[in-house]
């Protein structure tokens, strides 16, 4: 019997070492590993975030590993077979948002890729981080800008948005893009907002304000977008220039 014990123990040690170093922190039915390419403080930041988000909620044993390859952080997590074999786009969308908006922030705005794994940490699905551009922190919100925009312009817009109160509880997630001579202010919203006439009127007024106060009278479009910055509804410059009834709309309603 003893002759089988050593190979079994060796197999266990190899399997554990393949996962990397394990964080010695209290988790509700979960394990957090990190490879030698990850600094302990980076692993701790991510683990603390997951714990604060109640990721390890005790519903099932969850295994997470943080790795880094070719400059990209790999967030590898175990999922039940029902999720791995399913086609629920909402799960994918929420994972993409977690990468773009949270994990990347925790890791100094570096690229992050999510790998959805089975309980053996074998990768089943890979979710690359969407490229929203360069991020500027804006309170608890974010302003991204694409490579068509100079940083100084994006920072001017951020200053304006912060002065308008888009921070803290009223935070937003937005993106600035430039197409030819037209500025696109792209805003993440809930789908119902993109169909709300009152909200659209507010955005029209805000677009006119952006043109005047930030972009020197240049044309502006306001795009209401989903969590991947795909346009749900675009308010073009011609519409923004059209006078709004009742002396305009209160842009604080955007919050």
> pTM for this structure?
0.70
- Give the total number of structural domains in the chain: 2
Q: Are 114 and 10 found together in one domain? A: yes
CATH number reported for the structural domain that contains residue 37 in this entry: 3.30.300
Domain encompassing residue 58: 2-128
Domain boundary among 128, 155, 175: 128
- Residue 89, pLDDT score: 65
236 with 138, same domain: the answer is: yes
Question: Do residues 207 and 148 share a domain?
Answer: yes
Per-run averaged pLDDT (10 residues), the chain, 255 residues? 37 52 82 96 93 86 94 93 77 67 86 91 87 88 95 98 88 95 96 95 96 97 92 96 59 61
Closest CA to 123 of 108, 113, 132, 111: 113
Query: How many angstroms separate the CA atoms of 211 and 231, rounded?
Result: 20
Same domain, yes or no: 149 and 86: no
Q: With helix as H, strand as E and coil as C, how does the chain read?
A: CHHHHHHHHHHHHHHHHHHCEECCCCCCCEEEEECCCCCHHHHHHHHHHHHHCCCCCCCCCEEEEEEEECCEEEEEEECCHHHHCCCCHHHHHHHHHHHHHHHHHHCCCCCEEEEEECCCCCEEEEEECCCCCEEEEECCEEEEECCCCCHHHHHHHHHHHHHCCCCHHHCCEEEEEEECCEEEEEEECCHHHHHCHHHHHHHHHHHHHHHHHCCCCCCEEEEEECCCCCEEEEECHHHHHCCCCCCCCCHHHHC
Do 83 and 140 share a domain, yes or no?
no
Tell which residue, 99, 175, 169, 118, has the closest CA to residue 142: 175
pLDDT at position 55 is 87
Domain boundary among the residues 94, 128, 162 is at 128
Position 244 scores a pLDDT of 54
What's the pLDDT at 253? 58
Alpha-carbon distance of 7 to 186, in angstroms, equals 58
Largest CA distance in the chain: 88
Q: Are residues 124 and 142 in the same domain?
A: no
- Identify the pLDDT of residue 13: 33
Say if residue 109 is in the same domain as residue 148: no
Give yes or no: residues 108 and 206 share one domain.
no
- Same domain? For 249 and 140 the reply is yes
Are 106 and 204 contained in the same domain?
no
The whole-number pLDDT of residue 140 equals 84
Residue 75 contacts residue 132 (beta carbons within 8 Å): no
Whether 176 and 91 map to the same domain: the answer is: no
**Which domain-ending residue is among 108, 128, 148?**
128
| φ and ψ at residue 79, rounded to 5 degrees | -130, 155
Same domain membership, residue 54 and residue 75? yes
């Amino acid at each position: 019997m003893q002759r089988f014990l050593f190979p079994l123990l060796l197999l266990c040690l190899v399997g554990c070492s393949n996962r990397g170093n394990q964080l010695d922190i209290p988790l509700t039915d979960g394990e957090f590993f990190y490879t030698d390419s990850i600094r302990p403080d980076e692993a701790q930041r991510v683990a603390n975030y997951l714990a604060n988000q109640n990721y390890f909620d005790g519903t099932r044993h969850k295994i997470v590993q943080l790795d880094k390859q070719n400059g990209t952080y790999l967030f590898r997590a175990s999922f039940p077979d029902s999720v791995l074999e399913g086609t629920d786009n909402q799960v994918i969308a929420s994972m993409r948002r977690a990468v773009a908006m949270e994990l990347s922030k925790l890791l100094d705005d570096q690229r992050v890729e999510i790998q959805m794994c089975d309980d053996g940490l074998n990768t089943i699905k890979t979710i690359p981080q969407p490229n929203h551009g360069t991020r500027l922190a804006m309170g608890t919100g974010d302003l991204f800008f694409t490579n068509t925009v100079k940083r100084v312009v994006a920072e001017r817009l951020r200053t304006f948005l912060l002065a308008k109160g888009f921070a803290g509880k009223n935070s937003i997630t937005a993106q600035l893009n430039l197409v030819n001579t037209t500025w696109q202010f792209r805003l993440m919203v809930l789908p119902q907002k993109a169909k709300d006439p009152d909200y659209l009127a507010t955005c029209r007024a805000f677009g006119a304000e952006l043109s005047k106060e930030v972009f020197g009278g240049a044309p502006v479009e306001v795009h209401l977008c989903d969590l991947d910055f795909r346009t749900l509804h675009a308010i073009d410059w011609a519409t923004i220039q059209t006078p709004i009834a009742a002396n305009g709309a209160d842009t604080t309603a955007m919050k």
